[in-house]
Chains A and B, each alone.
Chain A
Amino acid sequence: MLTVIVYGLAIGAIYAATALVYNVMYSTSKVLSVTTGHIPMLGGVFGAYFIAGLGLPILVGLAGAIAVGVLFNLLTEIVAVRRVLARSDEHLWLLSTLAVATMISQVMALWWGTEPKPFPRLIPQEFAQGIGDQKYWLPVLAAAVCAGSLELFYRRTMYGKLFIATSEDAFAARARGINTDRVRALSYMLSGALGGLAGFAAGQLTFAFFALGFALTLNGFIAIAVGGLGSNLGAVIGGLALGMMSSFATYLFGGEYQQTVAIGILILVLVIKPEGLFGSKQVRPV
């Protein structure tokens, strides 16, 4: 029973971290990128590649995984978001990010292989530790670091305030002399770093697996839709709740129903409270 709760907490932490990545990108660009789940996936795969494949020290591997996340997300911004946002068509970004997500997913499948590969042990610890195992606590720690540092960044630093200004009203921010294009690119780099860190920390639980990308895109989105788009607190609570639910669904009904339960929650919340639990209702003035 305790294992079920701890497992749910760990999985939920990964979902929460993915939801935070969604939020950071959404706040400055108003784009929900299909590539979001692929950043933690890249973090996990490249972490395993750097440490187990190339034999680099763990800290270097961590830095490498984060760098890959940053680079990939910056590339996404340049290729798929910047040009599309210049046009007024509403949903083109959905198509362009979907295209990038498909491409990176296929590239990883060809290069890394379609089988999940194990992630190396980060801290020397005996196996069979039960609930004290690092694979459960590292993702939770990483998600806490992500959420905490984001909160500090937004509240205490000048750049954080620029991010908030841009997300509240990009036109007004530009009128006050903020280079919103650069803020957007920076926010993508920041979220890439968060995603890379989360994927690296969660590697032992999820394995280095290319198909994790679309699964996290979907589950991170469910977390954010349940918690409320734009709210970091909502993202964390939504992610943890979703992780708990799918963990208990697996425990009670078997693994085949994990996704079905998660998606059932999503549809239920969207029907009853479309703006999410902690989201603000957006009414478009006509």
Chain B
Amino acid sequence: MTDRSHILRPVALLAGVAFLVLLPFLVRDQYQLHLAQLIGVYWILIAGLNLVVGYSGQLSVGHVGLLAVGAYAFAILTGRYDVSPVLALGASGALGGLCGLVLGLPSLRLPGFYFAMVTLAFAVIINEQSVAQTELTGGGVGLPAQGFSAPFASPQGFYWLVLGISALVTWLTWNVAHKMWGRAIIAVRDSEVAARSVGISVYRAKLIVFVFSGVTAGIAGALFASLQTYITPDTFVFELGLFFFTCIIIGGRGSILGPFIGTVVLTALPEVVAPLAKLGNFFYGLLLLIVVLLIPEGFGRLLTQAMTRLKPQAAESKVVAPDPARLKAALGTRAGNG
């Protein structure tokens, strides 16, 4: 039984990777490819945010602010200073990480609701300043953003770039989540007092994970700007932050596959089912409420439960019964000694 799952898992992984790599040849039109690119860009942010929300339990609703920082940094660097897009991508990631550090230093000391409010406030400040600093960001009019050069210029090339980065980020988060670090931040999520008592530096663990999510948010912002080709403050509204957050909660906290499926479904669903697009946030709010009230562990948990139920259980029967021969021998030696 275990042998089969050992073979199945790499096969499933390989098939999934092959599907994602070949996706540009499978889609019917450019729009579907654009959707796939958008999902990839969102996923880069959500994968990092997942470590913060899903694993360390810090409910940040303000990552849209970090996304905006990355996007504006990319648009300004490439558009005004003619920095090469790849370099600007790295710079956006670094700036996102720096902003994450500045935001995290005071706010991660605060308890749950306070932290959520400070991250929300951060997103509000970034939005307000992106309107106010007209000479830097173009104000309400916005800024055009450059595309990538030669190998990534075509839609397919850009898709593979996004795919490569998101695969790298996913691999990094998987490593963090499944090694000692991940155990530490899960402990922080489940009980801070218990985590502290076994020697975990709670604040440092939270801060490092938060800065990492800032870097991924910055990179995602740069790719987002390049994908949209034009950015305005209206793009980076609070609702987008809520959307990222909802993807993770619906997918399930403490899992990577769950939020990924959540991202894919929530990004694609309003595009495919038109009435849902009109309802927009109402739909996300309703989904969030249903998940919180009925399945707080998220849909990902339901999936794993269904999988374990579907797996053929080894009919391992352990009969608890006396073994007459050994019993007799044991009793015999005791009797002999006595």
Query: A94-B113, A96-B293, A260-B128 are contacts. A214–B281 as well, Cβ < 8 Å?
Result: no
A99 to B285, CA, bound (A): 4
Q: A56 at interface (Cβ–Cβ under 8 A)?
A: no
Q: Give which listed residue, B59, B110, B124, B284, contacts A91 with CB less than 8 A.
A: B59
Specify which chain A residues have a CB less than 8 angstroms from the CB of B278 in the assembled complex: 110
Decide if the interface of chain B is mainly helix, strand, loop or mixed: helix
Q: Mark A75-115, 1 if CB is under 8 A from B, else 0.
A: 00001100110010111101110111111011100100000
Specify which chain A residues have a CB less than 8 angstroms from the CB of B116 in the assembled complex: 94
Q: Give which listed residue, B109, B124, B131, contacts A218 with CB less than 8 A.
A: B124
Q: A67 at interface (Cβ–Cβ under 8 A)?
A: no
Interface size class of A (residues with CB under 8 A): 35 or more
Q: B174 at interface (Cβ–Cβ under 8 A)?
A: no
A256 to B249, CA, bound (A): 33
Which residue from chain B places its CB closest to the CB of A263 in the assembled complex?
B121
Residues of B in contact (CB 8 Å), total 40
Contacting residues of chain B (240-286) with chain A, CB-CB under 8 angstroms: 242, 249, 278-282, 284-286
Do B292 and A95 have beta carbons less than 8 Å apart? yes
Query: A96-B293, A99-B292, A102-B285 are contacts. A259–B113 as well, Cβ < 8 Å?
Result: no
Decide if the interface of chain A is mainly helix, strand, loop or mixed: helix
B136 to chain A, nearest CB (A): 13
Do B280 and A106 have beta carbons less than 8 Å apart? yes
Query: A106-B285, A260-B125, A263-B125 are contacts. A218–B132 as well, Cβ < 8 Å?
Result: no
Q: B227 at interface (Cβ–Cβ under 8 A)?
A: no
Interface residues of B (CB under 8 A from A): 57, 59, 61, 106-107, 109-110, 112-114, 116-118, 120-122, 124-125, 128-129, 131-132, 193, 238-239, 242, 249, 278-282, 284-286, 288-289, 292-293, 296
Interface residues of A (CB under 8 A from B): 32, 79-80, 83-84, 87, 89-92, 94-96, 98-103, 105-107, 110, 214, 218, 221-222, 225, 254, 256-260, 263, 266-267, 270-271, 274, 284, 286
- Supply 5 further A-B pairs (C-beta < 8 A) apart from A102-B281, A259-B121: A79-B289, A91-B57, A107-B282, A260-B128, A284-B193
